[in-house]
Amino acid sequence: MSDRGVGASIARKEDDRFLMGTGEFTPDVQLPGMWHAAFNRAQIAHGRLVSVKAPSGAEGQVFTSADMADIKPIRSTASFPGFKGADFPVLARDKVRYAGEQVAIAVAPTRAEAEDIADSIEVEYEELPAVVDMNDGREPSAALVHDHWADNVCCETQFENGDLEPARAAAVHTIHRRFRMARQTPFPMEGRGTLAHYDSRLDELVVWMSHQLPHPMQRGIAHFLGLEINNVRVICPDVGGGFGLKTHLDGETMAVCWTSLKLGRPIKWIQDRLEHLTCDADCRNHQYTMTAYTDEIGKILGMEVECVVDAGAYSPWPWPIGVEAATGVGNLQGPYTVDALKGRSVTVCTNKPPSQPFRGVARPGACFTDELTMDAIARTVGREPWDVRLDNLVPPAAMPYDTVTRKHLDSGDYPEAFRRCVAAIDPESVRERQKTPEPDGRLIGVGFACFYEQTAYGTGPFGYSAWGIELVPGMEMATVKLTPDGGLWASVGIQCHGQGLETTLAQVAASELGIDPERIAIRHGDTATAYAGTGTYASRSIVVAGGAVAQGCRELKPRLARIGAHLLQCDEADVAVENAEVRGPGGSVTFDEIAEAFYHHPENLPDDTDRGGLTVATGYNDKVHGGVFGFGAHGAVVAVDPDTGQVEILDYAIVDDCGTRVNPLVVKGQVIGGYAQGIGNALYEESDYDENGQPLSVTLADYHVPAAPMVPDIKYDYMESPSPYTTMGIKGVGESGAIGPVGAIGNAVNDALKGLGVEIAETPITPRRVFDAIERGRAR
């Protein structure tokens, strides 16, 4: 069966139900007596709530924060210096702090009727000046988003390692740049959604949620509602994408749970696209000010950086304000041998929706910063950027390597992966092409980006425990059971929303036990079936849940061996457990037969049969707690139209290394999916606001998600550098593809513009931004 285990590109087990239309997403769940919820939302970005008046005839169908006095505000904790938690009210209390913030919930038999009621709720505001830009928010004259604070800065972090003074003193070149990333949204195809109902038989509030973190949501809902964990079950069924958006506990869900308990009927709220684009959590809104010190050939000696993050109005739970900034600064040296780094981060509250980690967390911002800096260095020292990169990349002989930001890079040949990417792009041919003007007048550019991806991190020195947050991921649990007919059932606390984990975790188990993946059921996304877990995020699930499932299989083996040897009438020491059977010197017995004996014919069992039976509940914890590191090199060739500012990707190459690939088809799919999101990040996606904080990108006419013609084919290559620290050498890969494109495309555009002496330093690289840069160049 090993040909279907780890390393095999088998088709996914979950595909059939999606292709037949028989998957079950939260909106698909219908319960008897169910009503729908809609929200009345703030029309202004900042103001005091003077009054909220429900329409007559809607008694018992509209609730406000005054009704929900028994719900605790959603409060996050962290140990960042100066951390201010910015409690997230379930429904606005006293003030609204962003346009679209939920003010009241309305419920009715249909969604349309609920919207009718929500629309006719009369809300009176006393409007206040809005803090829209993070830099403005730091000014002493800025309005206060939270009245009881002295200013809008909600968190500052400092980091220093290595001695920067010698770097400054020895520097031949000092490169100084400021980079900005626009706000955008993760935009899963399925928005949020919550259906809550009270199961009186079990005295349990059952909450169906489109979410990535079932167990943390169970804890949060119970805690903020004042219930015992035993009285809350969270089910995350099929989930139509998450990308980090669906990792926090939203106020709407709390209001739905409360209302369901209050009315004693199932209440369903399905976030629509207008809500998603208007007021769901955003991401990526960072500003980096970088100073790099280099020698005469561009070897980086040290870096100083300030990272400012626009947090929006509230701190999400459980990942609080500050995580983005800490991650941004904590990865700024990228995969390079930088000896000294001094970093500072400032997180600022504004009158915009809360900010939430999105695929890559802050690493795309860090990559944009360090990779565009790298090319700026190359231009300054007069060398090609690929040569400068090779001089700075961590060499394989240095592995494992501790970066200046204390990331323990575990394995990989970064320069070789990069060389392969360079070879795929062939930048020398681009240099040749650039010597002759293009017939259509466009400007050609080539750019690269290198990055590592920190995956499956937990309690490490620069991870969740150091940040002092409430839920620190560590041990990941799995329950593994041989079923009475010889199949395998495994339950895990992660949640699969497109990553193919129902298949890849089955492949891990198949490799351990030799059972065909078709006979292995992976159960996830339900607090009633999984013992514990923190869900799926941060490129962790295949490493930690894979490790836990493998561990469960390994602990099952001696139990199987003992029963098998007894059935074979041979010595336990003489049997092997593989290929779904126990094989002894004189024959073998299948798992089916062992299960049959265990469950239904105990008279055939040895007296010393393990009392744990054929079920193992066990866990996995990394040998290192700061994660294991994948690596990627991206290369892009672009054409820039100087008359329209449009950028076309002509060629794109990716070389990726995520250690042992459990299913190469799935790995490649993750990388390409990330690449497409990276293109959106680099070129198209922006959640824009006017000077009053009104959102301007609330439909797909204004918010541009990459469509198929905007995502060209790629040249794809991979390397496999197993991690020395994980089961089977697996590393995570979920975020990798999304990190590189901003750097590679940004550099390619700047390469195209270099004749004009201008650089782009802000995403997305829209036609207008390109045109403005060209105008600046022509005016020089």
Partner 1 sequence: MTSTTISVNGRTVTADVEPRLSLADFLREHEGLTGTHTACEHGVCGACTIMLDDRPARSCITLAVAAHGAEVRTVEGYDGDETMATIRESFKKAHAVQCGYCTPGMLATAYDIVTRLPDADRDRIRLELAGNLCRCTGYIGIVDAIEMTLAEIRGGS
Partner 2 sequence: MKPAPFDYARAESLDEAVRLLSGADGDARPLAGGQSLGPMLNLRIARPALLVDLSPIAELREVSEDEDGVTIGASVVHSAVEDGEVPDVTGGLMRRAASGIAYRAVRNRGTVAGSLAHADPAGDWAPVTMALGASLGVTGPEGRRTVAADAFITDPLTTVLEPGEIVEAIRVPRLSGTARWGHYKLCVKPGDFAESLAVVVRDPDRDRCRVALAGPTHAPILLDGVAGLVAEASGWSDALADEIKDAAGGGIAAAGFADADDRYAMNVHATVTVRAAREALSR
Q: Does 734 bind partner 1 (CB under 8 A)?
A: no
In the sheet where 576-578 sits, what is the strand order?
576-578, 581-584, 587-590
Q: Give yes or no for a contact between 80 and 322, defined as CB atoms under 8 angstroms apart.
A: yes
Contacts 24+ apart (CB under 8 A), 436-440: 438/639, 440/641
Among 35, 80, 108, 190, binds partner 1 (CB under 8 A): 190
DSSP codes joined into one string, 710-722 = GS---EEEEE---
Kindly tell me which of 345 and 536 has the beta carbon lying closer to partner 1.
536
Residue (of 662, 550, 565) closest to 616 by Cα position: 550
Q: Does 500 bind partner 1 (CB under 8 A)?
A: yes
* Euclidean distance between CA atoms 457 and 221, whole angstroms: 25
Contact of residue 523 among partner 2, partner 1, none (CB under 5-8 Å per partner type): none
Binding piece for partner 1, criterion CB under 8 A, among 349-357, 562-570, 637-645, 669-677: 669-677
Contact of residue 668 among partner 1, partner 2, none (CB under 5-8 Å per partner type): partner 1
Q: Which helix (H) or strand (E) holds 606?
A: none
Q: Does 700 bind partner 1 (CB under 8 A)?
A: yes
Q: How far is the CB of 683 from partner 1 (least distance, A)?
A: 14
Binding piece for partner 1, criterion CB under 8 A, among 84-92, 232-240, 400-408, 477-485: 232-240
Q: How far is the CB of 75 from partner 1 (least distance, A)?
A: 31
Q: Give yes or no for a contact between 453 and 631, defined as CB atoms under 8 angstroms apart.
A: yes
Contact of residue 768 among partner 2, partner 1, none (CB under 5-8 Å per partner type): partner 2
* Subset of residues 713 to 732 that bind partner 1, contact rule: CB under 8 A: 713-714
Q: Which residue has the tokens 């009315």?
A: 263
Q: How far is the CB of 698 from partner 1 (least distance, A)?
A: 10
Contact of residue 67 among partner 1, partner 2, none (CB under 5-8 Å per partner type): none
Residue 304 CB contacts under 8 Å (≥ 6 apart), including other chains? 164, 290, 291, 341, 342, 343
Q: How far is the CB of 438 from partner 2 (least distance, A)?
A: 15
Among 241, 468, 767, 777, binds partner 1 (CB under 8 A): 241
Q: How far is the CB of 278 from partner 2 (least distance, A)?
A: 11
Q: Does 135 bind partner 1 (CB under 8 A)?
A: no
The bridge status of strand 95-96 relative to strand 47-53 is antiparallel
Q: What distances in angstroms separate CA 216 from CA 318, 428, 470, 495, 723, one per listed residue? A: 8, 51, 10, 12, 28
Binding piece for partner 1, criterion CB under 8 A, among 214-222, 468-476, 497-505, 567-575: 497-505
Contact of residue 499 among partner 1, partner 2, none (CB under 5-8 Å per partner type): partner 1
* Euclidean distance between CA atoms 624 and 460, whole angstroms: 7
Token representation of residue 229: 């964990």
Q: Give yes or no for a contact between 411 and 337, defined as CB atoms under 8 angstroms apart.
A: no
Kindly tell me which of 99 and 490 has the beta carbon lying closer to partner 2.
99
Q: Does 669 bind partner 1 (CB under 8 A)?
A: yes
* Subset of residues 10 to 29 that bind partner 1, contact rule: CB under 8 A: 11-12, 14-25, 27-28
* Subset of residues 93 to 112 that bind partner 1, contact rule: CB under 8 A: 112
In the sheet where 300-312 sits, what is the strand order?
153-161, 340-349, 300-312, 286-294, 173-181, 762-763
Q: How far is the CB of 738 from partner 1 (least distance, A)?
A: 10
Binding piece for partner 1, criterion CB under 8 A, among 55-63, 495-503, 563-571, 760-768: 495-503
Q: How far is the CB of 54 from partner 2 (least distance, A)?
A: 18
Q: Which residue has the tokens 């836990």?
A: 548
* Euclidean distance between CA atoms 774 and 780, whole angstroms: 10
* Euclidean distance between CA atoms 455 and 542, whole angstroms: 10
Q: Does 696 bind partner 1 (CB under 8 A)?
A: no
* Euclidean distance between CA atoms 200 and 254, whole angstroms: 19
Q: Which x/- pattern over 269-298 shows residues binding partner 1 (rule: CB under 8 A)? A: ---xxx------------------------
Among 298, 316, 674, 732, binds partner 1 (CB under 8 A): 674
Q: Give yes or no for a contact between 728 and 6, defined as CB atoms under 8 angstroms apart.
A: yes
DSSP codes joined into one string, 195-220 = EEEEETTTTEEEEEE--S-HHHHHHH
The contact set with partner 2 (CB under 8 A) reads: 110-112, 115-116, 119, 272-274, 643-646, 684, 699, 701, 704, 706-707, 709-710, 767-768, 771-772, 775
Sign for the CA dihedral angle at 749, 753, 759, 765 comes to negative
Q: How far is the CB of 187 from partner 1 (least distance, A)?
A: 6
Q: How far is the CB of 187 from partner 2 (least distance, A)?
A: 14
Q: Does 497 bind partner 1 (CB under 8 A)?
A: yes
Torsions phi, psi for 710 (to 5 deg): -95, 0
Report the interface residues with partner 1, using CB under 8 A. 11-12, 14-25, 27-28, 30, 112, 187-191, 238-241, 243, 272-274, 497-500, 665-666, 668-669, 672-677, 699-701, 705, 707-709, 711, 713-714, 737
